[in-house]
Amino acid sequence: MLGQRLVAYHLVAYHLGVELETKVAFSAGFGGTGHYGPFNVEKTLVYGKVLTNLGNAYNPATGIFTAPVAGVYQFSVYHHSGTGRRSDSLLFKNKEQIAFISAMNKDGSYNGSNGIILQLEEGDVVYVVLKDNSWIWDHMSNVGAIGWCHFNGILLFAQ
């Protein structure tokens, strides 16, 4: 019944020339799990602690964001390397590498981050891959925090 009403509202809006706003935004972190990696192969990072998931486009079981509508999206990735370790990861759109995130330290802990704006089609996927022989360190410094490693995305406008 509710589904039929939504379809009817969308049809009325379409015929009136009114665009309904689609809201899509997510923010997810590791949750202070300590170190992750290194592995001898690349691994898709799964950010299981979700703060926000408007539109349910981010899957916390797989770490993959799937665009529910065509539009322009902004993504950001934040990583912490931990002492004496290298943290290299890649942001992918579908199977194409889009951005590189790196934090290499020799004398302490360092953070790496990157942000990008992408034009996506409905069904395109965006995800982060940890490079082989690399690791990330996640820690909760305050009660209630979800750690230092995050993956975020937001729909700027639909097309």
Q: Report CA Rg, the chain.
A: 18
| Span 72-76, average pLDDT | 98
Give the pLDDT confidence of 84-122 residue by residue, as tens digits: 777 889 999 999 999 988 877 666 667 778 899 999 999
Judge whether 87 and 80 are in contact, CB under 8 Å. yes
CA 159-25-31 angle, 5° bins:
150
* Three-state secondary-structure class, residue 60: coil
The yes-or-no verdict on residue 52 having pLDDT over 90 is yes
- CA-CA distance, 30 to 130, in Å (whole number)? 13
pTM confidence score:
0.83
Please state, in angstroms and rounded to a whole number, the distance separating the CA atoms of residues 138 and 100: 19
Residue with tokens 């299981």, as numbered in its chain: 48
d(CA 5, CA 54): 21
Element at 86 (helix H, strand E): strand 86-93
Cis peptide before 60 (omega within 30 of 0): no
Q: What are phi and psi of 10, to 5 degrees?
A: -65, -40
Summarize the confidence of residues 29-34 as an average pLDDT: 77
